[in-house]
């Protein structure tokens, strides 16, 4: 256990709590390791009948992975620090998805990137009125990872491609529609429900309530019409022909984010759709993230969005200049020495 990831047993539950509220509960390497260690210990512990995952603070369940250390290492020429972190994190993500006991995740506030990799793979995923979910990685030169492509691949129609390529943020209703969550409950009811789960060890959840309306269902015809194109350039062409507010809003995003990340994301979602097992999704994502620090737009994206915060990344390519061989190289199979050991 670390101070930033509290792992304990309470009643008949194993209980994991993100405890970095001032950092929006960003997940670092030590926290991922602590979660994995706890899950390994509880898997065959007869005293633990279910697992609860929640977070301190009102603003975020987990707003993503803590990539500052990866950025610093990369700037110093160490391209393996990030790969080691992602490989270990992905193994933990798989253990959540494959855990033989119920896992109930309570996801308030920001749930992004690494937070989706924890809460999004739980067997029972609860959201509330403050929940805001996104996989915004194309804005920092990365791709939706932590098994996020598995959720995106199983979203209705081409909603997954849309959410992954654009990184658009969604609330509770759209999170349920797209498959990131299962149940909406007002957050005022969460403490009593957690106490009940720990006391009984039984997943007896109340009927979900109706959240504020989302927008994805209404946009679905436009999303499907644009995002079933063969590549991102094709998507852009369809949006340009479509016109209207949705098309203009989406075009602005596609022209702002990393072209390499967008194209790789589109392909990864479709690769995983063909075989949506969690280990397959994570292994496919690792093809990109293994090489991301050295060969992608990642360092520049983090600099612009997180370090300097000038919001003016200088990407290596546009959609018109992106070479096919670059995309293919980023998505080539992982060398044997770097394969994820899911044991």
275-309: pLDDT as tens digits: 999 999 999 999 999 999 999 999 999 999 999 99
* Residues in contact with 146: Cβ distance below 8 Å, sequence separation at least 6, in sequence order: 65, 89, 90, 93, 113, 114, 116, 117, 118, 120, 282, 285
Structural contact between residues 135 and 167, judged by C-beta atoms closer than 8 angstroms: yes
Alpha-helix runs per DSSP H in 133-205: 148-153, 159-166, 172-178, 190-200
Q: Quick one: pLDDT at residue 1? A: 54
Helix (H) or strand (E) holding 53: strand 50-55
Half-sphere exposure of 267 toward its Cβ, with a 13 Å CA cutoff?
Answer: 19
Structural contact between residues 189 and 212, judged by C-beta atoms closer than 8 angstroms: no
Which among 62, 60, 126, 117 is positioned nearest to 94, based on CA atoms?
Answer: 117
Average pLDDT over residues 254-261: 98
- CATH number of domain containing 245: 3.90.226.10
Domain count, the chain: 1
Average pLDDT over residues 27-48: 97
pLDDT band at 196 (very low <50, low <70, confident <90, very high): very high
pLDDT tens for 92-102 read 999 999 999 99
Q: Classify residue 316 by its DSSP letter.
A: S
- Statement: residue 137 has pLDDT above 90: yes
Helix (H) or strand (E) holding 247: helix 245-256
Average pLDDT over residues 94-112: 98
Helix (H, G, I), strand (E, B) or coil at 127: strand
User: What Rg value do the Cα atoms of the chain yield, rounded?
Assistant: 19
Which among 52, 72, 64 is positioned nearest to 27, based on CA atoms?
Answer: 64
Q: Quick one: pLDDT at residue 310? A: 96
% pLDDT > 70, the chain: 100
Tokens representing residue 252 in the block: 């602005």
- Statement: residue 63 has pLDDT above 70: yes
Helix (H, G, I), strand (E, B) or coil at 97: helix
Q: Quick one: pLDDT at residue 208? A: 84
Show the domain range for 74.
1-343
Average pLDDT over residues 7-13: 98
The average confidence (pLDDT) of the chain is 97
Give the chain's length. Answer: 343
Q: Dihedral sign for Cα 225, 231, 234, 240, please.
A: positive
């Amino acid at each position: 256990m670390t101070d930033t990831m509290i792992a304990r047993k309470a009643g008949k539950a194993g209980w994991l709590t993100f405890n970095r509220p001032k950092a929006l509960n960003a997940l670092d390497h030590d926290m991922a390791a602590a979660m994995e260690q706890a899950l390994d210990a509880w898997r065959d512990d007869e005293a633990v009948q279910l697992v609860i995952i929640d977070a301190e603070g009102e603003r975020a369940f987990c707003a993503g992975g803590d990539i500052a250390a990866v950025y610093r290492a990369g700037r110093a020429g160490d391209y393996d620090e990030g790969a080691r972190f992602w490989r270990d994190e992905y193994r933990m993500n798989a253990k959540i998805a494959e855990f033989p006991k119920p896992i109930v995740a309570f996801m308030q506030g920001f749930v992004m990137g690494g937070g989706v990799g924890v809460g999004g793979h739980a067997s029972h995923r609860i959201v509330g009125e403050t929940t805001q979910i996104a996989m915004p990685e194309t804005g920092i030169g990365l791709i939706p990872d932590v098994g996020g492509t598995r959720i995106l691949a199983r979203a209705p129609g081409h909603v997954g491609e849309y959410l992954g390529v654009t990184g658009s943020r969604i609330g509770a209703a759209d999170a349920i529609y797209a498959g990131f969550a299962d149940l909406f409950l007002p957050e005022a009811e969460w403490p009593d429900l957690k106490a009940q789960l720990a006391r009984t060890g039984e997943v007896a959840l109340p009927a979900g309530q109706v959240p504020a309306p989302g927008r994805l269902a209404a946009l679905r015809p436009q999303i499907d019409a644009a995002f079933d194109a063969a590549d991102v350039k094709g998507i852009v062409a369809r949006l340009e022909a479509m016109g209207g507010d949705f098309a203009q809003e989406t075009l602005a995003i596609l022209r702002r984010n990393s072209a390499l990340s967008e194209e790789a994301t589109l392909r990864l979602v479709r690769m995983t759709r063909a075989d949506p097992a969690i280990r397959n999704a994570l292994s496919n994502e690792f093809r990109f993230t293994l090489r991301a620090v050295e060969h992608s737009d990642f360092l520049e994206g983090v600099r612009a969005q997180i370090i300097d915060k000038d919001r003016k990344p200088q990407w290596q390519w546009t959609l018109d200049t992106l070479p096919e061989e670059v995309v293919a190289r980023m998505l080539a199979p992982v060398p044997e020495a770097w394969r994820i050991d899911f044991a």
